[in-house]
Structure 1
């Protein structure tokens, strides 16, 4: 995966939605997709951050993106359906969606997990993903080759002490991806989950404040896998957990 090579216009004429597009991996993915020809739809809760991503894309001469401000903690299933309907009406089609937005919650012993932290993490990392996927699937099925990409984690299939709500939400995310992939096997829609691995983001800094940032990957370093899953080179790949970085021996 890390050796994946792409053409400059491998995403030309594709329309791709990215959640959490105002910062970190989501912002870099949006810029990278736009650089390779896609029209990107920037979804996030902070308008100023989305506008900064928008400005960066336009300044580089890439296809003009669209902005969708939406707080995944409070949005309803109908909000997501209305949003997708508007996207299809205005842009005509949707080829891919990267469900990148997540929250960490708190690192705490299992017996000390607060109900509020649990509810917030599950709402953003799981329930909102389900509502959004339900809304996106009909639109993605209209594309010749649709791609739906969830975001998992190293703690998404191997539990880790003190990572309770976040880890459990990512286990469930992988399960949801597998269920959808199995339901749509043989269709034009492929569904996968990507594990970014240790990457220099604000979430990572919160979890590991003393970590030497120079020794972990930057969001730019892991983009080959993100491009692969949105490009036509991944047609036929579905139901898979894809590591953006080569696991250490």
Structure 2
């Protein structure tokens, strides 16, 4: 089934590389106008070129997710230009360090929480009024299996992704009587810079390319998604629902 997003407006964070870059590209291929957010201007410009090459369009918004005022202003700017938002993909995140909890520096822990959790909440607060104006609002929050495994030495990242899932489920419950659908996605091991940071000895060729993960995520952005508050995992290029406890 082909996902048709013509006339839709989509925000993607962390869009300058990896899963965010290719998700933005997939959305543009499907017809959405992409509001691409990231710190790296060069990466955003490369994305813009790639989107234009497939006949799509994008608006580039370079800013750091720790700039909370910029996140607050994003919603207002989108409202002034389009009056609504149809899709939000909260993809940006940082790993922090792989370390015993007691050895993690406060500034590292605080940055992981600021980027992965506080910025996500701020993004929800800024964009929720716009998404609820859409007849088919879709919000996809990127998570990780770390939220459930809670493996030794992964404390900050695991805690941050568990918090992101909690935000998603709460938001889904609050908006379930509206057209807005909110889900979390665990992309699985993917050939990204963050994965290389976490597993420096791993052969990246053994992992799915982020473009494959993005293609699996795309159907969640369209009318095919009818459930809300779910967690999906990407395995073997396909989406599978992960059963959360009631």
Indicate conservation of the 8 Å contact 1:110/1:162, yes or no: yes
State which of 160, 163, 174 in structure 1 corresponds to 2:165: 174
Aligned match of 1:71 = 64
User: Deviations for 1:168-201, whole angstroms, at most 9, x for unmatched residues?
Assistant: 0001111111111111112111111010000000
Aligned match of 1:127 = 118
Q: CA deviation at 1:60?
A: 2.5
State which of 230, 234, 237 in structure 2 corresponds to 1:244: 234
State which of 18, 34, 37 in structure 1 corresponds to 2:12: 18
For 1:91 and 1:22, the matched residues in 2 are separated by: 23
Aligned match of 1:187 = 178
State which of 199, 204, 207 in structure 2 corresponds to 1:213: 204
Indicate conservation of the 8 Å contact 1:224/1:244, yes or no: no
Indicate conservation of the 8 Å contact 2:22/2:210, yes or no: yes
Aligned match of 1:36 = 30
For 2:212 and 2:38, the matched residues in 1 are separated by: 23
Aligned match of 2:90 = 99
Indicate conservation of the 8 Å contact 2:83/2:130, yes or no: no
For 1:128 and 1:105, the matched residues in 2 are separated by: 15
User: Are residue 55 (structure 1) and residue 33 (structure 2) matched?
Assistant: no
> What TM-score comes out, normalization by structure 1 length?
0.92
Q: CA deviation at 1:91?
A: 2.8
Q: CA deviation at 1:12?
A: 1.3
Q: CA deviation at 1:223?
A: 2.5
Structure 1 unaligned spans of 5+: 1-5
For 1:230 and 1:24, the matched residues in 2 are separated by: 18
Aligned match of 1:3 = none
Q: CA deviation at 1:57?
A: 0.8
Q: CA deviation at 1:159?
A: 0.5
Aligned match of 2:40 = 46
For 1:81 and 1:109, the matched residues in 2 are separated by: 34
Q: CA deviation at 1:55?
A: 1.3
For 1:87 and 1:37, the matched residues in 2 are separated by: 18
User: Deviations for 1:69-104, whole angstroms, at most 9, x for unmatched residues?
Assistant: 11012x12x432321111121134210000000001
For 2:143 and 2:37, the matched residues in 1 are separated by: 18
For 1:13 and 1:244, the matched residues in 2 are separated by: 27
